[in-house]
Structure 1
Amino acid sequence: MSSASRIKVMKSLKLLKNTWQLRKSVSVSTVMSCALLLGFSQPLTASAANLLEVVDIALQENLSLNSAETGLRSSQYDLDINRGKFLPSLNVSANTNWNDGTTHQTSGPNTNNSYNDHGVNVTLSQTLFNLGDIYSHTNTRIDVDIETLKTEQTRQTIIRDASTTYFEYLKSSAQIRATQAELNSSISRLKLITRNVELGNMAGTEKYEVLAQKEGTANTLRTLKKDQKIILTQLEMIVQRPLNPDYDLQSTIEFTEIPSDRERRLNDILYTSGYDLLIAQQQVKKSRQTLKETGATFVPSLTGSIGYTYDDTNDASATVLPDNGVTEEAVYTLKLDVPILNGGRDYYRYEQNKFDIERTEIDLQDSKDQSQQQFDEFIYNINDYSASLASLKTIIQANYASYNGIQKAHKLGTRTITDLLSAESKLFSSIRDYESARYDYIINLVQLNELIGNLNMNTIGKIAEQMSPVSDRKTDSPIPLHLLVQ
């Protein structure tokens, strides 16, 4: 567009806006042009928040993440519990018995015998060799590693959910803003045409077309508002508090395609940092370690122990030791346990674990295939949105020029109301498509970073740098005015 054209458009827009403020009774042409410049204002119902604040609050308050972190801290104790198999065990036991007996004799008096005996036993034992314990400890360490990866994956999921829902809300707001402006235009046109029909200046059939479009737009707007309430509820559930997103994407942000060299680097990162793949790899490692642990049941184990026993019995009637007196005994034990047969249970468990390895390897390959498919899909979507935004800019400019032309022609009587309504619908549809593509580009970008394991506060911060407060917008027009002056 030439400089002269840009100046002409800006003057026209300014004139139309002033006309809307100064005049209450205007023509259809002026009503529509002003409606394009007036936005839909949504009242704040909760505390305002920018993207970084929302994500930060979600990481602090989200119950799913808190649960995952608590589970991780709990699983870390499994290492200490399992480590106890390699440490010595010390057992102490003590006993005391009071014996009170009476012997009834056939001749002579009965004899009573009351006495106490007591003793102490101390046993120190240590496993000297058990291959199964070694493999079990390694298996526990892998379990903790898996739990750590799952916790970090949950953290990235929370960041993804909070940020994408934030942009879904902004996308919904843009849709509502454009649809509300379209509805305002339909209402104003319907009032004007109704009056003209009553005055006999216009055929009554034109009123019904405008009425149908107005009701259709009102129904669309109602659905959009309902959907936005649902989105806001989802966002509040993620952050565990009521809020209202008050930062939006700047109009000057560039939505560039991902070049092939950058795509290859991101693909490499996927196979080194993607949490789905890392967890699947650890599952394969665990299944192989479990097979080793099961196989260790066929290997002999060696255990050593030292026991000390002290026993004191003061039975006065006893004539032979140790029934009467103190007994001390030290026992040194070395136990070799060689498994022979237990009904085949260990053998079948070993064979079962072989299939578990095969299953986890299949799952790993499936995870690779799915991750690659998702990666390609995100790349295709991002590049497509980038290309479509360039086309949609041209479409909006063309539809706006077409609408203005048909609007003038209708005023002169050379175009029908159907032509005008069709041009209006095309204009607002292209605006909604343009806004959707902008937010969908960012949403797919966030999801791509989560897939490759690169979604963090730094990533969100780079996106937040390209956002500004909603109150800082120079106009609430549903039309991207910067597109009309290029």
Structure 2
Amino acid sequence: MKKKLLIALLPVLCYKVSAFDLAFAYQEALTYNADYLKTIASNDAGQEQKNIAMAKLLPQINATGTLSENYFNQSGNYALYNQGLVSASLTQVVFDFSKFSSYSKGKYAGMVTELQLENAKQQLLVTVSQAYFDVLYAKDTLTAIQKTKEALEKQMNQAKRAFEVGSVTIADVNDAQAGYDSSAAQEIQATNELINKKNIFRNLTGLDPEKIQPIKDSINLESPKPANADSWSVMAESGNLNVRVADKQVAMADEDVNIAISGHLPTVNVVGNYQYQGTGNLDSSTLNTSNDGSNVPGTPLSSYSVGGVGAQLNVPVYQGGGVNAQVRQARANLVAAKQQMVSVERQTDQNTRNTFWQVQNGVSIVKAQQTALKSAKTKLDSDQLGYQVGVRNSVDLVNSQKNYYQTFQTYQQSRYQYLMARVQLRYLSGSINPDFVKQINQNIKN
């Protein structure tokens, strides 16, 4: 019984494995796409900026150890001896405006890379969706051209037969031949375009584009909610990831101004040091070894330790005008960053409003194209019947077929453009999430 059930389910299982939808393609791209994986690594690197800056605010401790062979000579008496030396130093920042500002800048840098990573993740959905629908549209275009070519081939053959019996002129044959040849050239171009779109999709996801599932015959046509462009513009103003990145980059440029200004400010550090010199060991000597001085403080062979702690104040007086130049440079960069943010905001507002209307009007466009397709199909059916009873000729029938497939191609294009506009609108507002991916994927055949 189990074996029979497995055999019965095998075609279904193979189909599920072989064919995939948009959601699956997107998930695969998240683990395959090199550009996105590079952004993940860049974010990991960026998160270390604040740690690097914080390290400069924490105690700096250094220790060294030395073992040296020394030579001593006084009044003809000499000594060769080895001696160890250990030293340690400590520095702790009390006030250093540059280091404090660098730490703040490091935190903003970490925020920027996090936002860039999220932006790359959402942008990847836009890119994969476009590539997915481009493959489907290229297939539809090739199908429409092939169907048209078949109709033109029939017309050409009929014209040749009619010419043989003398019912049409050679001009009619040449017209039919030219139409067929043109469609054959278009088929080659459409085939190349399909190959190109498939390669783009494969490069993005690592998946076989031959197994892409088409969209449903009837997709969900939803108008944007909220239903006005101003609301979406406000959402994009605060949610668009490119705007948020630009805002943090302005904050980083502001910290660069503080870092430059700190060149005029004093710094205060707590410093401490400790040094221990070990007792020397004689290797050879002409001295009286019973009184080599190793136990007499201050002699080269004696051991001793010294240490100290204190505050270190550093006051910059004049650096040749370099600090002033750095301040002017940082302030100019801050102005540039602010203007860049204004540019990003305006471009985002423009794109958001345009995309809103693409979705809003896209509903009506798809419905209108659907009606046009039904009309074209009705006309094609009528012309086919008229051709059979002799009230329509082959030219009328071919023109009707060409019109139907061109309308089919335009109808399919309007549906892909509508779905892409929905994805783009959510991306511009920074509101792409797993639930939205599921909503779009509901329009793909299972």
CA shift digits 1:6-25 (9 cap, x unpaired): xxxxxxxxxxxxxxxxxxxx
The corresponding residue for 1:168 is 134
The answer on whether the counterparts of 1:284 and 1:357 sit within 8 Å (CA) in structure 2 is: yes
Matches within 5 A, 1:363-382: 363-382=340-359
Q: Give me the whole-angstrom Cα distance separating, in 2, the residues matched to 1:309 and 1:411.
A: 111
The corresponding residue for 1:351 is 328
CA shift digits 1:166-185 (9 cap, x unpaired): 01111122222222222222
Candidates 161, 182, 185, aligned match of 1:219: 185
5+ residue gaps, structure 1? 1-43, 470-486
Matches within 5 A, 1:2-401: 47-100=18-71, 111-258=77-224, 261-312=227-278, 314=280, 321-324=297-300, 325-401=302-378
Secondary structure (helix, strand or coil) at the match of 2:310 reads strand
Structure 1 residues 118 and 396 mapped into 2: Cα distance closer, same or farther (>3 Å)? Answer: closer
Secondary structure (helix, strand or coil) at the match of 1:332 reads strand
The corresponding residue for 1:34 is none
TM-superposed CA distance for 1:203, in Å, is 4.0
Letter in 2 for 1:329: V
Secondary structure (helix, strand or coil) at the match of 1:467 reads coil
TM-superposed CA distance for 1:416, in Å, is 5.9
Secondary structure (helix, strand or coil) at the match of 2:83 reads strand
Letter in 1 for 2:237: Y
Letter in 2 for 1:66: L
CA shift digits 1:205-225 (9 cap, x unpaired): 333222222222222222111
Letter in 2 for 1:322: G
TM-superposed CA distance for 1:80, in Å, is 2.0
TM-superposed CA distance for 1:331, in Å, is 1.7
Letter in 2 for 1:341: Y
CA shift digits 1:24-48 (9 cap, x unpaired): xxxxxxxxxxxxxxxxxxxx9x943
Letter in 1 for 2:117: T
The answer on whether the counterparts of 2:134 and 2:197 sit within 8 Å (CA) in structure 1 is: yes
The corresponding residue for 2:4 is none
The corresponding residue for 1:482 is none
Secondary structure (helix, strand or coil) at the match of 1:94 reads strand
The answer on whether the counterparts of 2:155 and 2:394 sit within 8 Å (CA) in structure 1 is: no
The answer on whether the counterparts of 2:155 and 2:398 sit within 8 Å (CA) in structure 1 is: no
The corresponding residue for 1:18 is none
The answer on whether the counterparts of 1:52 and 1:457 sit within 8 Å (CA) in structure 2 is: no
TM-superposed CA distance for 1:411, in Å, is 6.2
Letter in 2 for 1:340: V
What CA RMSD, in Å, does the superposition of the two structures yield over aligned residues?
Answer: 2.7
Q: Give me the whole-angstrom Cα distance separating, in 1, the residues matched to 2:374 and 2:435.
A: 36
Q: Give me the whole-angstrom Cα distance separating, in 1, the residues matched to 2:206 and 2:303.
A: 71
Q: Give me the whole-angstrom Cα distance separating, in 2, the residues matched to 1:49 and 1:420.
A: 38
TM-superposed CA distance for 1:360, in Å, is 0.8
- Which deviates more, 331-340 or 209-218? 209-218
Q: Give me the whole-angstrom Cα distance separating, in 2, the residues matched to 1:64 and 1:387.
A: 36
CA shift digits 1:243-298 (9 cap, x unpaired): 42432221222434436635443322211211110111111111111111221222
Q: Give me the whole-angstrom Cα distance separating, in 2, the residues matched to 1:299 and 1:383.
A: 57
Percent of pairs with identical residues:
16
Letter in 2 for 1:323: T
The answer on whether the counterparts of 1:135 and 1:292 sit within 8 Å (CA) in structure 2 is: yes
Q: Give me the whole-angstrom Cα distance separating, in 2, the residues matched to 1:244 and 1:300.
A: 68
Q: Give me the whole-angstrom Cα distance separating, in 1, the residues matched to 2:392 and 2:218.
A: 36
Secondary structure (helix, strand or coil) at the match of 1:336 reads strand
TM-score (norm 1): 0.79
CA shift digits 1:101-143 (9 cap, x unpaired): 567x8xxxx6443333332222222122212111110101111
Q: Give me the whole-angstrom Cα distance separating, in 1, the residues matched to 2:310 and 2:24.
A: 65
Secondary structure (helix, strand or coil) at the match of 1:161 reads helix
Count of residue pairs brought into register by the alignment: 420
Secondary structure (helix, strand or coil) at the match of 1:255 reads coil
